[in-house]
Amino acid sequence: MFQALCMGKLMEKLEVERFSIIGTSYGGFVAYNIAKMFPEKVEKVVLASSGVNMRRSDNEAFIARAKCNGIKEVMLPSSATDLRRMSGIVSSKRLDYVPDFVLNDFCQKMYSEKREEKAELLEGLSIGKDDKTNVSPIQQDVMLIWGEQDQVFPLKMAHDLKEMLGKKATLKVIPKTSHIPQTEKSKEFNGIVMSFLVPASPSPPI
């Protein structure tokens, strides 16, 4: 993956010898590939709400849940209606109280610039285009963090991914959250990350 290669090269340029990496959603695909490509540099990996094991059937099921014709309609909203649909999928909090003109203005500012290029990028992604996954165990310890009610990558994908990654993978499920537990329950999310990356030191003997 091009992004993973660029990140690895950047760490080399900055003379960072060892580091841990966190990726949420699509960022998890990048994080997984960085860990796979640079095993001697990456210490630990956190993948949050990231179905790196996504297959074609998973992609088709997501589009069906979103009630749209393709991924572009969800990820590149162009109207208040589209934005409400995306919000309803990724978060347990709804935008019903926000006026249409505010959401339309948000779409105009956030998604109109280079819209065609972004659409081409989405269409060109190989993720979820095959019936098989290319996920295999990596040598690092991996923490998987998932929202219990994730509609983008349902919880079953988290359990399947844990099995694919092997004994070094741990799964933590945050109740009553959807695709963005880092926003919906940030304190609990951050606590899981910190306890994984910086485990508590044992108490000294008395």
- pLDDT above 90: percentage of residues in the chain: 47
pLDDT bracket for residue 126 (50, 70, 90):
low
What pLDDT digit, counting tens, does each position of 24-61 carry?
Answer: 988 898 899 999 999 999 999 999 999 999 998 988 88
pLDDT of 206 reads 63
Q: With H, G, I as helix, E, B as strand and everything else as coil, classify residue 86.
A: helix
Once rounded to an integer, what is the mean pLDDT over residues 176-196? Answer: 95
To the nearest whole number, what is the mean pLDDT of the chain?
86
pLDDT of 3 reads 60
Cβ(147)–Cβ(177) under 8 Å?
yes
What pLDDT digit, counting tens, does each position of 1-18 carry?
Answer: 556 666 667 777 777 789
More confident residue, 167 or 119: 167
Q: Give the whole-angstrom CA distance, residue 49 versus residue 63.
A: 17
- Two tokens at 17? 């010898």
More confident residue, 1 or 65: 65
What pLDDT digit, counting tens, does each position of 84-124 carry?
Answer: 888 888 887 777 778 999 989 988 888 888 888 877 766 65
More confident residue, 176 or 9: 176
pLDDT of 203 reads 58
Cβ(43)–Cβ(140) under 8 Å?
yes
More confident residue, 154 or 200: 154
142 forms beta bridges with 45, 169
Once rounded to an integer, what is the mean pLDDT over residues 149-158? Answer: 94
For the chain, what is the total number of helices (H) and then of strands (E)?
A: 10, 4
What structural domains and CATH numbers belong to the chain?
A: 2-54+133-197 (3.40.50.1820), 56-124 (no CATH)
Cβ(43)–Cβ(117) under 8 Å?
no
- List b or e across 50-84, with b for residues whose CB sees 16 or more CB atoms inside 10 angstroms: bbbbbbeebbeebbeebebeebbbbbbbeebebbb
